Amino acid sequence: MGSNAPTGPQPPYPLHPSVKDKLDPTYRDFYNKHIFDKQQVHLQPVSASRTSGILIPGGGPKLPVGKTEDFLLQRKETAGPDVPIRVFTPEGEKPSDGWPVMVYYHGGGWVLGNIETENTVCTNLCKRASCVVISVDYRLAPENPYPAAVNDSLEALLWLRSTGFTQLALNPQKVAIGGSSAGGNLAAIMCHKALASPSLVPSFSVQLLIVPVTDNTASTATTLSWKENEFSPALPAEKMLWYRRHYLPDEKSWGEPEASPLLYEGGWESQPRALVVVGELDVLRSEGEAYAEKLRKGGVEVDLKVMKGMPHPFLAMDGVLQQGRDTITYMVEALKRAFA
């Protein structure tokens, strides 16, 4: 990956005039105090971004759970190394019919993030929704481009169906799936893949898609939120394309449904109910809204939330932003409803 020397403009990075006055004041103040003078991810080598510490500042604390265990899953259908997962189990006695379970995929543009990245979200879901949470540590690009992350995501579900339900004392009738950003992309794809392999992959009670990437063909020329929020902080259009090109180096694959789940042609009427949360000032807003609309047209129950004044990373900033805390609460409530 070469040296860790920056490859583009240097900090500081003041908020762009096109978005500055639209941002929630709490986010704007935090950005100006803690973020604007930090090197931006897409303007330095990947290796530097992976070793620079916290992916997104402003996160809240992890909550205590009963136990946290890491496992390595042997593959069943695809090639590659064992797939690491982290399993969060609630405190207390398991229900007589087994724990409900949530499979979670972290964000980071398929390039950044790891098993540690979204432990705050995972422990909140585990403790507050009284369910086991399985976080999947899928392989990252550019070393492992598409479809490595899709394959790893699927392998976790194959293990869950064949082994995990029994090993972890889970209830196979109460299974949820979800993720944020790139992880929301993977979760949406897994819901479609479950339709194709019902004997191998669990069926899901609910899908939680937080600021999901659903259309890797989107651009400032074709998509409203890309044009409106081209220079939004945290995920400007240029940075999203940086992620995309690392993960999908072959442009011909950008429109494949397993890269862009919005472009699946069928199966919408058989999807699980959904919570979709998007940021008003996120380049990804329009494709999240379009995904929710496709689900609705298929007859699926959808709860779409648009978080006002928010750029992309509000979920991971729950220590600072009420919108981040609210989003976790929406996720907890969706799980409780699905598992009731």
For residue 6, pLDDT over 80 is answered with no
Q: Where are the beta strands (DSSP E) in 106-191?
A: 132-136, 170-180
Query: What's the confidence (pLDDT) of residue 148?
Result: 98
Instruction: Please give the radius of gyration of the chain, using alpha carbons only, rounded to the nearest integer.
Output: 19
- The per-residue pLDDT for range 232-275, each reduced to its tens digit, is 999 999 999 999 999 999 999 999 999 999 999 999 999 999 99
* Six token digits for residue 233: 């902080």
Q: Read off the amino acid at residue 229.
A: N
Query: What's the confidence (pLDDT) of residue 56?
Result: 86
The per-residue pLDDT of the chain, averaged, comes to 96
User: What are the backbone angles phi and psi of residue 90, rounded to the nearest 5°?
Assistant: -65, 165
- The per-residue pLDDT for range 82-127, each reduced to its tens digit, is 999 999 999 999 999 999 999 999 999 999 999 999 999 999 999 9
Give this prediction's pTM.
Answer: 0.97
Q: Which of 283, 143, 131 is nearest to 213 (CA)?
A: 283
Query: What's the confidence (pLDDT) of residue 9?
Result: 84
For residue 194, pLDDT over 50 is answered with yes
CATH numbers and ranges of domains, the chain: 67-339 (3.40.50.1820)
Among 180, 181, 205, 225, the one annotated catalytic? 181
Which whole-number Å values give the CA distances from 335 to 124, 237, 287, in the listed order?
Answer: 12, 32, 23
Q: Which of 13, 57, 16 is nearest to 324 (CA)?
A: 57
Q: Residues 310, 323: contact at Cβ < 8 Å?
A: yes
Among 130, 232, 312, 318, the one annotated catalytic? 312
Annotate 10-26 with b (16+ C-beta within 10 A) or e (fewer): eeebebeeebeebbbee
pLDDT (mean) for 304-308: 98
Whole-angstrom Cα distance, residue 190 to residue 6? Answer: 36
Among 153, 282, 286, 318, the one annotated catalytic? 282
Q: Is 270 a catalytic residue?
A: no
Of the pLDDT bands very low, low, confident and very high (cuts 50, 70, 90), residue 66 is very high
Query: What's the confidence (pLDDT) of residue 89?
Result: 98
Q: Residues 304, 292: contact at Cβ < 8 Å?
A: yes
Query: What's the confidence (pLDDT) of residue 116?
Result: 92
Q: Is 312 a catalytic residue?
A: yes
Of the pLDDT bands very low, low, confident and very high (cuts 50, 70, 90), residue 8 is confident
Whole-angstrom Cα distance, residue 214 to residue 181? Answer: 9
- The per-residue pLDDT for range 27-46, each reduced to its tens digit, is 999 999 999 999 899 999 99
For residue 320, pLDDT over 60 is answered with yes
Of the pLDDT bands very low, low, confident and very high (cuts 50, 70, 90), residue 54 is confident
Position of tokens 């699927």? Answer: 154
Q: Is 181 a catalytic residue?
A: yes
Query: What's the confidence (pLDDT) of residue 182?
Result: 98
- Give me the percent of the chain exceeding a pLDDT of 90: 92
Q: Residues 181, 171: contact at Cβ < 8 Å?
A: no
